Structure 1
Amino acid sequence: MTLQTQLKHLSLIIGATMLAACGDATTQIIEKEPIVVPGDGDDHDHGDVSSAGRLLVTSKGSNQVTLFELEDNSLLASIGLTFEPAYLYASPSKRYAMLVQRNDNQVEFIDGGLWQEDHGDHLHPYQQAPALMDFSLNGSRPTHVTVGASQVAVFFDGDGQNGVNASAAMFDEMHIGSDNNDYPIQEFDTHMHGAAQARGENLFATLRDANSATTLPDRIARFHAHGDHFHQEETYEVICPVLHGSAQNHDAVAFACGDGVVVIEEQDGQFSASKIVNSADFTEGMRIGSLRAHLAGEQFFGIAGSQVFVINPEAGEMEKLDWQPHEGAALLAMELSLDGETLVILDSQGYLSLLQAHAHDNELHWELAHKLDISEADVADMPEGSRFEMTLSGEQVFVASPIEKHILSVDLHDATISTELELDFVPQKLTWLGIVGEVADAHDH
């Protein structure tokens, strides 16, 4: 299997009506005000650039995605993808949305239209209309997308029934913006439900014995980029059974195993792997299935069912996090705020929990600061195949309710609901796109 980029014809239609879902890639821009495109006229006269950012929302059962301008919650654009997306991620700078169409073997990208450039003596903000990018990825069953400091790794599981092997691609936002397919690809010798982390010139990815009875891998290797491909540099001896989930922070890369977490650390250009075994809080059948981390942090957070474990690589231990879930509530999503100071958990009963970090004995400890009921609806009325979803900006948590067909904006610091965005469709996934941190003043040089 070979990954490749595809050129797609982008159709821009100015109008006021939403497009019905179809099999073609189409775009409808609903213009609110003139939008300055970089390079037109005075390069430093860009007017007001949105500091609130934009929200991209997918529609259940549709290939149509919608973007809203968060300054006033107005409809900004409706864009038709080739297929309905299953997963949705934001690129490292939050400029691009990455829309994974797993069942249709494709990943497409949308430019949210907000970004900053370093002009030496100042950061310069830009704003333009959202657009479907020419850059796309084709491969068998794209599933896990992981985002590093400036790079993205996409793992394609492959298809055992049809004899298609797994692969992984590593690229950055320059590839997305310029439709450049000059990025390295790793082709594996079998299919697997794997994971990969991009870190500089290195790709940390999973390996699986082709004769294994499970599609989950149990080994980890380091690959080094060489042009359009990788060289396998080393395979770590530590075994990671039923591996599922990975993350990275400032110091290390981690992979979740059935019996613990493998942490790979770098020192003086050398990489070493060790395992932090599951704590005594684990019962039979429990395992960490996904990991979270803040790129500037030192801890990892493992999700095991509805329980969360804080993993401290320096101490070589993990401890259970008391996030005080309601009885019968399943953990749906957990993310760290962009500044790394708040841990946000959304559960199936419609509660949003905010935990704040406190330093004690040179370690961060997390305490529940707020718990907010974000839905007045009966959760029994949740549409089949749907659930509450969330995404974070620098200051807000946006929670989508498929029952009520709306999105609430919740302040990250005091857990107050600030705005409600009403929808005329059932929301499926959402992500925030915009400029991370304070938007620079283009005229302050």
Structure 2
Amino acid sequence: MSLFVRRNVTSWGPAALAALALLTTSCAGQDGEASASRQSPSASATPHGYVEGAREAAEQQSRLLLNDPDTGDTRVLDLITGKAHEVSRTTGASGLTTDGRFGYLHTANGTRVLDGGAWTVDHGDHVHYYRAAIRDAGRIPAGTGARIRSDAAVTAVTGGDGRAALYRRNELEKGEVGNPRTLPGTHASAVVPYAEHLLALTADGGGAVKVVVRDRKGRRVAAPEAECESPRGDAVTRRGVVFGCADGALLISEDDGGFAAEKISYGADVPARERAASFHHRAGSDTLTARAGRGAVWVLDVTERTWTRVRTGPVVAVNTAGEGSPLLVLQDDGALHGYDITTGKRVSRTERLLTDVPEARTDGTAGPAIEVDRSRAYLNDPAGNRVYEIDYNDNLRVARTFGLDMEPTLMAETGR
């Protein structure tokens, strides 16, 4: 794997985002597709969707990022070829998160950025799938407790102290972290890039946590009238950005440059230990899941603005593809269970897949995870040195089992 030397970066300006033009410019009136054999085409010959240094594919190029915090062993499992690529070690990781392309390994000494080399660009009426080299992109100073959120232009890093900084996405794509822009104030939630702006929750002078909308330079441009007590967890959906609150969820949406806030209430008082603290969902889906205490799961339908509580038994990990797909729950019996979200009834169950079931995940990152894409789900089995591929549309059939030479304690899927 190639390591890239960090270089000095220039100040923010229009030229800094020039490399993003291919991702943000409208595709209307263009023809052709990128060819893997083309080398540095001229502007006039650039094929539709071309991304320098990447190969375009006809299908999603999913890859799994895997890490063992004890040994530092790190792998990138290519789900197209089935091959596991060894990359440099990262020891002591407390969590592994992703924005769809980059993996973020959080440690006490900072966050390692790993380019998984697979991503999707959604143009609305069609999408492009890309694959490129796997490589390190450097280290971000913020470590354990950092919350990292991205869009096509910027990556926002919110530290455990609530202070946030912006990194240029095109620098990460070059294999460099670059110089960040620091945002003013402190934040009670992750800063989330959305609709060419930045959304965050901040405490006002009276202690109330309210919504703040900033532009990319950090200037406050809007403040929708809404509060969110004890914010925990967030997710980006097609309907807007969801923040978890003590009384339910707060949905922030954008329309023609204006921002609106809407509360989606639980409908009843929910004890703190049973509130949604970390959301899990398929990228692009409007159906969110979260643990509801030890023995149940919350399902938030953002389109319908409704919460559903599904009693399942002891929950270790949860996710769903949404849109009529089953609710997937890894329970303390080591088996994966499927539930009908509407009725709450269990409709499918695998045999025992995990021989050693660790404690349930509490922060949304450590331990067994269920990653979901448009046709498959992936479940890591650290003690068994393997990852299961599950066909959730075929009665939770185990489609493939990937044996590994390391314990995949942490897992995240890229290419989405």
Same fold (TM over 0.5): yes
**Which one-letter code corresponds to 1:168 in the other structure?**
A
Does residue 325 of structure 1 match 2:312? yes
**SS in structure 2 opposite 1:176?**
helix
Aligned pairs for 1:42-441 within 5 A? 53-71=62-80, 73-81=82-90, 84-92=92-100, 95-101=101-107, 103-104=108-109, 106-114=110-118, 127-134=131-138, 136-139=139-142, 141-147=144-150, 152-158=155-161, 166-171=162-167, 173-178=169-174, 179=176, 181=178, 184-189=181-186, 194-208=189-203, 218-226=209-217, 230-280=218-268, 282-283=270-271, 286-292=274-280, 296-306=284-294, 307-312=296-301, 317-320=306-309, 322=310, 324-326=311-313, 329-330=314-315, 332-337=316-321, 341=325, 343-355=327-339, 368-375=346-353, 377=355, 379=357, 387-414=367-394, 415-434=396-415, 436=416
Q: Distance in 1 between matches of 2:168 and 2:320?
A: 22
Q: Distance in 2 between matches of 1:316 and 1:338?
A: 14
**SS in structure 2 opposite 1:219?**
strand
Q: Distance in 2 between matches of 1:207 and 1:198?
A: 15
Structure with greater proportional strand content: 1
Aligned residues of 1:184 and 1:225 also touching (Cα < 8 A) = no
Aligned residues of 2:203 and 2:210 also touching (Cα < 8 A) = yes
Aligned residues of 1:58 and 1:65 also touching (Cα < 8 A) = yes
**SS in structure 2 opposite 1:88?**
strand
Deviation at residue 337 of structure 1 after TM alignment = 3.0
Aligned residues of 1:38 and 1:126 also touching (Cα < 8 A) = no
Aligned residues of 2:56 and 2:128 also touching (Cα < 8 A) = no
Aligned residues of 1:154 and 1:170 also touching (Cα < 8 A) = yes
Q: Distance in 1 between matches of 2:356 and 2:281?
A: 33
Aligned residues of 2:336 and 2:353 also touching (Cα < 8 A) = no
Deviation at residue 255 of structure 1 after TM alignment = 1.4
User: What CA deviation, in whole Å up to 9, does each residue of 1:322-341 have, x standing for no partner?
Assistant: 3x523xx12x3333439885
Q: Distance in 2 between matches of 1:56 and 1:224?
A: 32
Deviation at residue 60 of structure 1 after TM alignment = 3.0
**Which one-letter code corresponds to 2:68 in the other structure?**
S
Alignment length (residue pairs): 366
Q: Distance in 2 between matches of 1:253 and 1:317?
A: 15
Q: Distance in 1 between matches of 2:199 and 2:254?
A: 12
**SS in structure 2 opposite 1:62?**
coil
**Which one-letter code corresponds to 1:109 in the other structure?**
V
Q: Percent identity?
A: 18
Q: Distance in 2 between matches of 1:355 and 1:342?
A: 5
User: What CA deviation, in whole Å up to 9, does each residue of 1:76-99 have, x standing for no partner?
Assistant: 223224x5322222333xx33222
Superposed CA RMSD in Å reads 4.3
Deviation at residue 225 of structure 1 after TM alignment = 1.5
Aligned residues of 2:318 and 2:330 also touching (Cα < 8 A) = yes
Deviation at residue 348 of structure 1 after TM alignment = 3.5
Distance 1:203 1:116, change over 3 A: closer
User: What CA deviation, in whole Å up to 9, does each residue of 1:311-369 have, x standing for no partner?
Assistant: 4566654332x3x523xx12x333343988554333333232345678xxxxxx88754
Q: Distance in 2 between matches of 1:367 and 1:433?
A: 31
Deviation at residue 218 of structure 1 after TM alignment = 3.0
Deviation at residue 256 of structure 1 after TM alignment = 1.2
Aligned residues of 1:249 and 1:296 also touching (Cα < 8 A) = yes
Aligned residues of 1:392 and 1:431 also touching (Cα < 8 A) = no
Distance 1:290 1:55, change over 3 A: closer
Aligned residues of 1:145 and 1:152 also touching (Cα < 8 A) = yes
Normalising by the residue count of structure 1, what TM-score does the alignment of the two structures yield? 0.67
Structure 1, unaligned runs of 5 or more: 1-5, 10-35, 159-165, 359-364, 437-445
Deviation at residue 431 of structure 1 after TM alignment = 2.1
**SS in structure 2 opposite 1:175?**
helix
Normalising by the residue count of structure 2, what TM-score does the alignment of the two structures yield? 0.71
Deviation at residue 133 of structure 1 after TM alignment = 1.9
**Which one-letter code corresponds to 2:178 in the other structure?**
N
User: What CA deviation, in whole Å up to 9, does each residue of 1:249-281 have, x standing for no partner?
Assistant: 222222111122222233443223232332237
Distance 1:154 1:388, change over 3 A: same
User: What CA deviation, in whole Å up to 9, does each residue of 1:39-71 have, x standing for no partner?
Assistant: 499x99979999664332101313331223434
**Which one-letter code corresponds to 1:225 in the other structure?**
R
**Which one-letter code corresponds to 1:61 in the other structure?**
D
Distance 1:266 1:340, change over 3 A: farther
Aligned residues of 1:96 and 1:111 also touching (Cα < 8 A) = yes
Deviation at residue 197 of structure 1 after TM alignment = 1.6
Q: Distance in 2 between matches of 1:309 and 1:257?
A: 13
In structure 1, what is the equivalent of residue 30 of structure 2? none
User: What CA deviation, in whole Å up to 9, does each residue of 1:94-141 have, x standing for no partner?
Assistant: x3322222x22x2222222345789xxx9886655421124x422365
